[in-house]
Amino acid sequence: MCRLTPAAACALLALLLAACGDSAPANGGTFRLEVLSNRADLLSGGDALVEVVMPAGASGLKVELNNQDVTSAFAQAPSGRWLGVVTGLRLGENVLLAGLGDRRSRIKLVAWPRGGPIFSGPPVQPWECTTEAAGLGPAQDPQCTGETVVSYHYQPAGGGGFEAYDPENPPAAAEVGSTTTDEGETVRFIVRQERGTLNRGIYEFAVLHDPENEPPPTPLTPPRGWNDKFVFSYGQGCAPGYSQSSVPDSKTGTSLNATLNLLGRGYASGVSSLMAFGQTCSSVLAAELTMMMKERMIELLGPDRYAIGNGCSGGAEGQNTVSDLYPGLLDGTRPECTFADGWTPAITAKADCQLLLNYFNAISPQLWGVLAQQSAVVGSNVSMCYEMQGLGSGPQDWDPAGSGCQVDAALVYDPVTNPTGARCTLQDINVNYVGRRAGDGFANKVLDYVGIQWGLQALQDGAILAEQFVDLNEKIGSYDIDWVHVPERTAADVAGITRMYRNGQLTYGLNQRLIPSIDTRTNNQADFHGNIQREIMRNRVLRSVGNLDSQVYWLEAAEGPFGLPSPEQSVLTLVKVDQWLANIEADTSGDPLQVKVARNRPADVVDGACYDGGQQVPAAQCEAIYTHQLLPRLVAGAPNTADVLKCQLKPLRRDDPDYEGITFTDAQWARLEAAFPTGVCDWSKPGVGFQPPVGDWLTFKDGPDGKPLGPAPVAENY
């Protein structure tokens, strides 16, 4: 044992003898501190749920926070665990010390501001607070801190959506419906909803709780209807918003009515305005908000068994990136209308489609009157590109003066009148992870067009003529940093591209082996949520992991907008991911988690199965309607992982096997040589700057080169 100073010895003696009648020191069994609500070094809000693991029947526990007695915060829960919410943490380092007889457990707690950030890096500016519009009063500081509001809602006995419930003046008992959770608990269908602010966003979570018949929720008195499980939703879309914005409405699957089924099954459902990719498309920020919300929910309700993701489109982007970058925040995912991440469709569909449509319709319309030939170059029905153009989705992610900023127009970038304004691009809202250019201070450009042979496979397949191929690659041009079309092929900033890989901005897929995932959709061929997007995600997992043991894909035998599955199918994925996680939970072997994930998949969770309204049907029904697709860069020869941002080059050679059986005139070849003065893409080589992410749980507190936080702190026991 270490040598103590006289003052420290006195303090220790006081800790041991503070209460008369304590039992003798317990010398057997486990004794340690465990922080349950979050990592001990990433705590927010000034509090933490802590467990003291003690020998059975022991007494005389003493706990101090920064030399102040906080023993009274701890009590034995009905489960037998000793739990306590420790409050009053000061920003920075705190020391929590527990004593039992002659034994000690000590852990350092690091507290961060409720308004953030913790690991996401410096807050982007400008930023619009919206607390008043959300009913949370005026913003109290630059972090957009507002009031915390609790309200209650109930489902009427006859069913339907939620109605307001006033605990001081409740409706008649016969008017309130009931629900039976997936744990078999039948309770009145009354929901506690909490709305507040965390990390410049507005959060909202809801859980079954009957205020007339239950005590207020605490880790010692959790709601009877809570099934000890969480669901986190990530909304739809992807936009570079500079606003606190609002909690997504029912269209995004995250409002009370939209999560009625989740709540009725007993789940606590959580969302934040900044977890919604359609409002601020940042995977690191979404992970940080997931972590902070999860901490808040655990500190109110108690420790959870596991957390499951929820969401279509941008909601799939959130699930895939959060689970890959910060493993452990989500224990299972249910991506629908899948994209691998926010960047992949923004580059491979939105940006490339806009470039091609500009060429087809504004530069050489005389050559491209046949839509089937346009589709051959796009790799999918060209309606995908026209649909995006109609929605304005293309420029929304890349035009610095576009509509995606979601702030007052006076704050938005203009190259002449406001050159330092907010730039409405995906790269600028994620500047903490791609870094800045030295010259103009804008975020590094990650779009690269050098060497791409647009329409190569269409030429090889005979779907377009040699003259169309030559004209396309000669005249298509590209977009510069301000999203202005220029005749030359512009290059990306290599520093930004390198960070995209090292920081995991493009989902790499390795950590998908650690979580069960069921991806479901209907067939889609009309918009950019095409079937190819889910194939890209699986190809990355296969490349990085070597198998698809953790990945299950289900198709519904139907066509659907955005590939959105039926409600019955969404419920089925929730039920089956839950069963899968319960099997893993019951597996007490010492095997690695990825082995448990592969081993414990339910027997009826079959990869590639076909469904109709939640009922499995013969696979042939799905095979008959499945639309096989590519994307413009894949038609140009890019690998099926669609994650080469800047290709390495090879010389343009007339005898290249790419042109076998194709005849170019001398004049056409000379035009190709002029179009590709430095060579064409060599897709057999890794992309420029490609590398696996440098680690998990990266922090960007010190700059755009993310650093792994390392293992979570554990208590020192002596």
Span 463-522, pLDDT tens digits: 999 999 999 999 999 999 999 999 999 999 999 999 999 999 999 999 999 999 999 999
Q: Which two tokens stand for residue 627?
A: 């639309």
In the structure, what pLDDT confidence band is assigned to residue 22 with cuts at 50, 70 and 90? very low
| Whether pLDDT at 255 is above 80 | no
CB 271 within 8 A of CB 249: no
Neighbouring residues of 144: CB distance < 8 A, sequence distance ≥ 6: 115, 127, 129, 130, 131, 197, 200, 201, 244
**Averaged pLDDT for residues 676-687:** 98
Residue 586 to residue 298: CA distance in whole angstroms: 22
What's the confidence (pLDDT) of residue 20?
32
pLDDT higher at 711 or 528: 711
Q: Which of 10, 19, 20, 31 is nearest to 102 (CA)?
A: 31
Q: Which two tokens stand for residue 644?
A: 């080469």
Q: What are the DSSP calls for 44-92, one per residue?
A: ETTEEEEEEE--TT----EEEETTEE-GGGEEE-TTS-EEEEEE-PPSE
Give the tens place of pLDDT for each residue, 320-357. Answer: 999 999 999 999 999 999 999 999 999 999 999 999 99
Strand partners, 479: 485
In the structure, what pLDDT confidence band is assigned to residue 249 with cuts at 50, 70 and 90? low
What's the confidence (pLDDT) of residue 685?
98
Residue 51 to residue 74: CA distance in whole angstroms: 8
| Whether pLDDT at 620 is above 60 | yes
DSSP conformation class of 229: E
In the structure, what pLDDT confidence band is assigned to residue 241 with cuts at 50, 70 and 90? very high
Phi, psi for residue 15 in degrees, rounded to 5: -65, -40
| Whether pLDDT at 391 is above 90 | no
**Integer angstrom CA distances of residue 332 from 268, 305, 357, 551, 580:** 15, 12, 39, 10, 9
Percent of the chain surpassing pLDDT 70 = 94
Residue 411 to residue 235: CA distance in whole angstroms: 26
Residue 423 to residue 439: CA distance in whole angstroms: 16
What's the confidence (pLDDT) of residue 663?
96
Mean pLDDT of the chain: 92
Q: Which two tokens stand for residue 101?
A: 């007889």
Residue 41 to residue 32: CA distance in whole angstroms: 17
**Integer angstrom CA distances of residue 492 from 132, 449, 497:** 41, 8, 7
| Whether pLDDT at 572 is above 50 | yes
CB 503 within 8 A of CB 706: yes
Residue 420 to residue 96: CA distance in whole angstroms: 46
Helices 283-301, 314-325: crossing angle, 10 deg rounding: 80
Output the CA torsion sign for 132, 136, 137, 143. Answer: negative
- Three state DSSP letters for 366-386: HHCCCHHHHHHHHCCCCHHHH
**Averaged pLDDT for residues 205-227:** 97
Q: Which of 334, 343, 317, 352 is nearest to 262 (CA)?
A: 334
Report how many helices (DSSP H) and strands (DSSP E) the chain contains, helices first: 20, 30
Claim: this prediction has a pTM higher than 0.85: yes
What's the confidence (pLDDT) of residue 395?
56
Residue 26 to residue 17: CA distance in whole angstroms: 14
Give the tens place of pLDDT for each residue, 106-164. Answer: 999 999 999 999 999 999 999 999 999 999 999 999 999 999 999 999 999 998 889 99
Which of 17-31, 385-399, 643-657 has maximum average pLDDT?
643-657
Residue 543 to residue 510: CA distance in whole angstroms: 9
Identify the three-state secondary structure at position 670.
helix
| Whether pLDDT at 539 is above 70 | yes
Identify the three-state secondary structure at position 531.
helix
What's the confidence (pLDDT) of residue 28?
59
What's the confidence (pLDDT) of residue 390?
66
CB 267 within 8 A of CB 223: no
Q: Which two tokens stand for residue 263?
A: 């709540």
Give the tens place of pLDDT for each residue, 177-195. Answer: 999 999 999 999 999 999 9
Residue 72 to residue 88: CA distance in whole angstroms: 14
Strand partners, 422: 412
Which alpha helices (DSSP H) does 326-455 contain, by range?
343-345, 352-358, 371-378, 383-391, 393-396, 426-429, 431-434
What's the confidence (pLDDT) of residue 674?
98
**Averaged pLDDT for residues 23-40:** 78
Of the listed ranges 18-32, 64-78, 255-269, the one predicted with least confidence: 18-32
Q: Which of 300, 288, 216, 289 is nearest to 254 (CA)?
A: 289
CATH 2.60.40.10 fits 25-112, yes or no: yes
| Whether pLDDT at 290 is above 70 | yes
Estimate to the nearest angstrom the gap between the alpha carbon of 496 and the chain centroid.
21
| Whether pLDDT at 250 is above 90 | no
Residue ranges of the chain that CATH labels 2.60.40.10: 25-112
What's the confidence (pLDDT) of residue 451?
98
Residue 648 to residue 451: CA distance in whole angstroms: 8
Give the tens place of pLDDT for each residue, 300-310. Answer: 999 999 999 99
**Averaged pLDDT for residues 423-441:** 96
Output Rg (C-alpha) for the chain, integer angstroms.
28
Burial (0-12, 13-18, 19+ Cβ within 10 Å), 609: middle
**Integer angstrom CA distances of residue 485 from 356, 371, 436, 493:** 11, 23, 22, 18
